Chain A
Amino acid sequence: MKHRLRATALLAGTAMAVAFGAGSASAQQAVKIGMFTPLTGASSVVGLDMQRGVELAIARINAGFDVPMQDGTTLTVGPGLLGAPINLIVEDDESRPQAAMDAARKLVEVDGVAVLIGEYSSGRTQPVGQYANENQVVHISIGANAESLRDIGPYFFDAIALAGLQGPQLIAMAQAAIGDVDTFGTIFPNNPYGVGMEIATCAAAAAIGIECVSTIRYEEQKTDYRPELNQLTAPQPDAVAFFAYGADATLILRQAFELGVDAAGTWFGAEVSNWVADVAAIPEVAEGIRGVEHAVAGELYETQYRAAYVDAYGEEPLTVFGAFGYDAAMLAALAINAAGSTDSDAIRQAMHEVSQTYLGITGNLAFDEDGMRMFQDYGEFIYTNGELVPYVAE
């Protein structure tokens, strides 16, 4: 009840601030930040989590907040920005690329947002990024990490590192965990993220003489993955890199378990937190599976994000992507604050500057010259007794 009351109070406050521009400033004066996120469809859990992360950051800036910096100091920002509260406008993109473009266009052309935040899927982020760049609107992606995003243009920034960085990490983890690895198999969804991961993993493997003997790209939302699993295991790879989420994760892990695949011994997952909630009812199918995940846990994450999230929403963060949403919104606010205006070029330039100094709850968000996050810490985890715990190779 206490959580619910707090959540209601915070949400009501945020909603009031969002809807009416909190305080005495008029809606016209408010700095508008737009967010498009999948609140319905296949990615709705991630979408809601990202929305919550962004809302937490905006609520803090609107209330006035001491933002932590990398040099150990803090920078007081707010209440609000440029003398007025931030007006966050959220649009559902239905997990569909065309609806994502509709939402982004509405945010830019009707609402006139200064910064656009979103999304998680690379396939939906890419066209919106192109559009935003063409119209010189700063766009910050939260969780999309296909390699092709690098070329979008100068107004595009990515708060999460590109998928390529995870490939070498998975290979290194497999080698440390099971020793002599000569062959690798991969099973990833046939989407920009999955194919990007496959390319990055096999390239990292080839660089040290490991051969990718089976590369399976599965269609999402199928009702049977046994043919894919049989194809994956037929050449008997020493180790397997995989990724799945939602109902697909449950089915793939359950069918692998039923087929007698030694997932606990040989499978290494990318972004493993994605399926933890999905296998909660049948934890035995994932027992012992190891993998990497964005290392967002830490003192700053615990004190500044997780505790506030639990306070506001009465439950643990749904995924890691809410934290990236929080950082994306903080960067946007810091950049507008530093630019001293909502001019796109001034915000774009300020984005590079503030990314070098802001201490994010997901780590160091410094952007390279293409606006891509340069550093990303990955933690190694093992799924045991129904939860993910840090893994240390024996």
Chain B
Amino acid sequence: MTEFLIYLATTGGIAAMLALSLNLQYGLAGLVNLGQIAFFMIGGYVSAIIVMLGGQTIAIGILGGTVAAALFGILMALPTARLRQDYWAISTLAAAEIVRLFFLNTAFGSPYFGQAFGIDGIPQPYRRAFTEAGLTTSNYNLFYLGLVLVSLLAIFLILRWLAGTPFGRTLKAIREGDHVPLALGKKVSGFRLRAMAIGGAVGGFAGALFAHYNAFINPEYFVPIETFIIWAMVILGGAGNFLGAVVGTVIITTIYNSTRFIASFASQRDLELTPIIGFIFEPRVLGPLRMVLIGLMILLVILYLPRGLVPERRRRYGR
């Protein structure tokens, strides 16, 4: 059980980085990015390619993946920075699909490296050192969890600090509409561009960490539904609040995986199940039930807690 919890915490931590990245773009700057998963994909693929084909170290790979995703964020923002929010959202969705289709149709060296096959056998940082030192896979998983949590904490603190700087306050002003920042002489498109670059870097870093943890990636991991799961985390937790994004991630990850234990919990305790409850416990029903539960929670939050479970603290100035 401990191993599984470590795994969930690790993947949840990586998802939380993506949620933080989206929170910077949407929660702070009001940028409706429906292509968030593209950063994740670019980070993972570029890092794997740099390490496996370029022969570079994993640290350089992760750095490369982070920079590439940041550059893609800029690339995505450059032609669209002047678009209205709805058009902007559609363009980000399209951009993410272009990235996915690029990797889906591109082989790197061999027909079985890249394309639909994805990339397998991606090296894991310090894995050999752990093996040589006689340490177990459990030890390594614990190490990776530590790496993810430290990274998550660092990203959280940096982004929260950033939100309090003049840059962050300008992003919040842009979120409320372009008129005020324009009246103050701020170049809105430049701020959006920087928000996308930082968001892209965080998303790319998360993608690189995921690729080296999972040791395998293929385009199936990066379909649009994954972006919407990240959105669910941010909306549920509370857009604009970085702590809310993390809380939302924890809740969604918990719902996703806790339902797997309901049936075995019931059977272990010899619970008398009615036919209807027994039907719900069937694995083929529990799957969709997760999404129903998540959808229901989002509806309830939107209706009764429109600012999320951990709302953004808005400073009130003198009236």
- A-side residues, CB < 8 A to B, are 19-20, 27, 39-41, 44, 47-48, 89-92, 94, 96-99, 101-103, 105-106, 109-111, 122-124, 126-127, 130-131, 134-135, 146-148, 151, 190-192, 194-196, 199, 217, 219
Contacts and interface: CB of A to CB of B under 8 A. Distances in A.
Given A190-B105, A195-B117, 5 more contacts: A48-B284, A99-B287, A123-B220, A147-B112, A195-B115
Contact of B137 (A101, A103, A134, A194): A134
A195 B220 contact: no
B218 A94 contact: no
Chain B CB within 10 Å, residue with most, of A92, A96, A130, A146: A92
Given A91-B283, A92-B287, A126 B3 contact: no
Interface string B256-278: 11001100100110100000000
Contact of B120 (A90, A110, A130, A217): A130
Given A40-B284, A134-B137, A123 B111 contact: no
Contacts of B284: 39-40, 44, 47-48, 92
A102 B260 contact: yes
Given A89-B264, A126-B118, A110 B1 contact: yes
B93 interface: no
A127 B214 contact: yes
A62 to B, nearest CB: 16
A92 B283 contact: yes
Contacts of A135: 137
Nearest to B120: A126
Interface residues of B, number: 39
B286 interface: yes
A39 B287 contact: yes
B116 A192 contact: yes
A344 to B, nearest CB: 13
B4 interface: yes
Interface of B: 1, 3-4, 7-8, 11, 101, 104-105, 111-112, 115-118, 120-121, 137, 214-216, 218, 220-221, 225-226, 256-257, 260-261, 264, 267-268, 270, 283-284, 286-288
A173 B216 CA distance: 36
B220 to A, nearest CB: 5
Nearest to A47: B284
Contacts, number: 102
B221 A106 contact: no
A87 to B, nearest CB: 10
A2 B76 CA distance: 62
B20 to A, nearest CB: 19
Contacts of B3: 105, 109
A44 B288 CA distance: 12
Counting from the closest, the 7 A-B pairs by CB-CB distance are A39-B284, A40-B287, A109-B3, A127-B216, A109-B4, A19-B267, A92-B287
Contacts of B268: 27
A97 B221 contact: yes
A127 to B, nearest CB: 4
A88 to B, nearest CB: 11
Nearest to B111: A199
B220 A91 contact: no
